[in-house]
């Protein structure tokens, strides 16, 4: 099921995995984060895995970066990157949030990254349900 917003799309992959695709050129702000949180809270009653598909280029404000991934129901985050810029932004985010001990992993979009990311998330979601 695809849910479309002005700044992003959320694809509900299955009962415990959501895929986030932010539109090209968007600046993710606190308002964007609040829309995301509202959608996640409506769609998931328990823990879920988040697949961030960085197929587009976008930026995240410092305030939003501080909050992204903080939803207590997110059990793991997989990020699929397609270029050096998105890979570097992902690494910066992971370093920025290192103290929070988020369960997060990057996958290359050119090496079957989306399917590998989904497989990894399924394992992480199973662990969180145990």
Q: Give the CATH number of the domain where residue 58 resides.
A: 3.30.750.24
Q: How many domains does the chain have?
A: 1
Q: What is the largest CA-CA distance in the chain?
A: 39
| Residue 55: per-residue pLDDT | 92
| Residue 42: per-residue pLDDT | 92
| Range of the structural domain that residue 69 is part of | 2-129
End-to-end CA distance of the chain: 26
pTM for the whole thing?
0.89
| Residue 79: per-residue pLDDT | 93
| Residue 69: per-residue pLDDT | 65
Q: How far apart are CA 101 and CA 33, in angstroms?
A: 20
| Residue 64: per-residue pLDDT | 83
Low-confidence ranges of the chain (pLDDT < 70): 69-70, 128-130
| Residue 111: per-residue pLDDT | 78
């Amino acid at each position: 099921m695809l849910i479309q917003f002005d700044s992003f799309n959320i694809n509900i992959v299955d009962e415990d995995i959501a895929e986030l695709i932010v539109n090209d050129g968007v600046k993710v702000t606190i308002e964007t984060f609040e829309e995301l949180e509202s959608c996640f809270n409506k769609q998931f009653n328990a823990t879920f895995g988040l697949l961030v598909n960085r197929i587009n280029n976008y930026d995240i404000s410092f305030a939003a970066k501080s909050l992204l991934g903080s939803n207590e129901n997110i059990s793991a985050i997989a990020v699929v990157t397609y270029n050096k810029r998105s890979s570097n932004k992902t690494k910066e985010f992971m370093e920025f949030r290192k103290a929070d001990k988020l369960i997060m992993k990057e996958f290359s979009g050119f090496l079957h990254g989306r399917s590998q990311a989904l497989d990894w998330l399924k394992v992480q979601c199973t662990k969180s349900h145990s």
